[in-house]
Amino acid sequence: MVLAKRVVILGDGSAGITLANKIRKVTVPDEIEITLIGNSQRHFYKADGLFVSFGLKNYRESLKTSKFLLNGGIDYLSDEVYRINYEDRVVLLKSGKTYVYDYLVVATGNRFAPEEMPGYEGEAKHFFDLNRSMELKLALDSTSSGNILIVQPEGPVQYAPSLIEFALLLNGYLDERGIRDKLSITFATPEQNISSVKAISRSAEEMFEKCNIEYTTGFNPKSINAKNREILSEKGDSMKYSLLVMPPPHRGQKFIEESGMAGSFGYIDVDKKKLNYGKFDDIFAIGDTANLPVVKTGSGAHYQATYLASKIAHEVVGGLFETDYDGKLSVTTLTGMDTAFTVHCSYDRVPDPTIPSKSDFLLKYTSSDTYFSSLIRGVL
């Protein structure tokens, strides 16, 4: 009797759940046992954080329980990872349990690290989780004058172009309230361009100028002075604000460093085409956990999960699969209260700017329906 291969997936976010569902879709438990380990009671569709912060969506449309999103035949364990012993193929959990694996996939996403930005707590607002999106809505509703400063922190950020989207949505939101002329909007980023995606950057420059949104590149934030309501950079210059919108610094989960696997900013360095870690052909990282030369997006997590599911299934039971992950992404960027544009890119494909349309806005606005019904369940 041939024993089933054991696939252990760490992380119950978009990448982890999608991977589990996709592997299960093309295999059966007698061939591959799938264990998904995470500690999220509910799953928030993060792309809707923007809409929630402007009151454009009811947050209940963007929430599902993690268990609800898993297809049958997947073991779900609510626990946290303590350490990975990759030499012995063992995962140690904080509960004291251990799991032996044949394949290990780390998909634990981002860890917010506000402690790395002095003055951050209680001062900056953001929309990268549900509670903070709702807090930001209250702050926006009570702001009627001054300068709203939008800042990107140093290092990887989950879908960094969302900060550009926020600035453009904010312009429309203030205009609808009839107070746009009473508030200035400023965008600052450590990048040398507005976005690392050239097509988005070129379009953003044009739209910022059209909407009278000021922007500064090469601004690397170091600390926040709440008393003076200013943020200071590594170079010593500063910017004033009435309302500060900035996600906290993003880092990889602490167990990655404690396991000796951390690359830059605490994430895992992987082969960009195979997604495996170092010399190991049984350890992988996908989604925001992986240090890859692509923007960290839900789209990227979906394509990486699709590639890896077919690769693992091929090695265990045979079948066709793509030999390499090509860095494929589809990114829809909001440009206002009713328009957006979509670019498609990969490692070898640099997209051209596209014309914003209402249909692309509708695509993004309704994407949670497709996400919950098909994408994360492994149907698409």
- pLDDT band per the 50, 70, 90 thresholds, residue 101: very high
Q: Which residue has the tokens 């007698």?
A: 30
82-90, long-range: CB within 8 Å, 24+ apart, which pairs?
A: 82/255, 82/258, 83/255, 83/258, 83/259, 84/255, 84/259, 84/261, 84/283, 85/259, 86/259, 86/261, 86/277, 86/280, 86/283, 89/282
Class (C level, CATH) for 5-109+252-325: alpha beta
Question: CA angle at residue 247 from 61 to 221, to 5 degrees?
Answer: 165
Q: Which of 262, 260, 318, 319 is nearest to 289 (CA)?
A: 262
Q: Is the pLDDT reported for residue 2 higher than 80?
A: no
- CATH topology identical between 5-109+252-325 and 115-249: yes
CB atoms < 10 A from the CB of 217, how many?
A: 15
DSSP three-state, residue 91: strand
Summarised one tens digit per residue, pLDDT across range 288-319 is: 999 999 999 999 999 999 999 999 999 999 98
Tokens of 196: 């690392």
- pLDDT band per the 50, 70, 90 thresholds, residue 375: very high
Which H helix or E strand runs over 149?
A: strand 146-151
What's the confidence (pLDDT) of residue 350?
A: 78
Question: CA angle at residue 77 from 133 to 252, to 5 degrees?
Answer: 50
What's the average model confidence in pLDDT over 23-42?
95
Mean pLDDT, the chain, integer? 95
What's the confidence (pLDDT) of residue 312?
A: 97
What's the confidence (pLDDT) of residue 199?
A: 86
What's the average model confidence in pLDDT over 110-134?
96
Summarised one tens digit per residue, pLDDT across range 148-202 is: 999 999 999 999 999 999 999 999 999 999 999 999 999 999 999 999 888 899 9
The mean-pLDDT minimum among 57-71, 241-255, 262-276 falls in 57-71
Reply yes or no on domain 115-249 having CATH 3.40.50.20.
no
Q: Which residue has the tokens 């061939």?
A: 31
The DSSP bridge partners found for residue 5 are 32
What's the average model confidence in pLDDT over 203-226?
96
Domain ranges of the chain: 5-109+252-325, 115-249
DSSP codes, 296-338? --HHHHHHHHHHHHHHHHHHHH-----SS----EEEEEE-SSS
Summarised one tens digit per residue, pLDDT across range 44-67 is: 999 999 999 999 999 998 999 988
Q: Which of 39, 34, 48, 51 is nearest to 105 (CA)?
A: 34
8 Å CB contact between 308 and 105:
yes
Q: Is the pLDDT reported for residue 11 higher than 60?
A: yes
Tokens of 256: 């990655």
Q: Which residue has the tokens 């009627």?
A: 144
Share of the chain above pLDDT 90, in %: 90
DSSP three-state, residue 81: strand
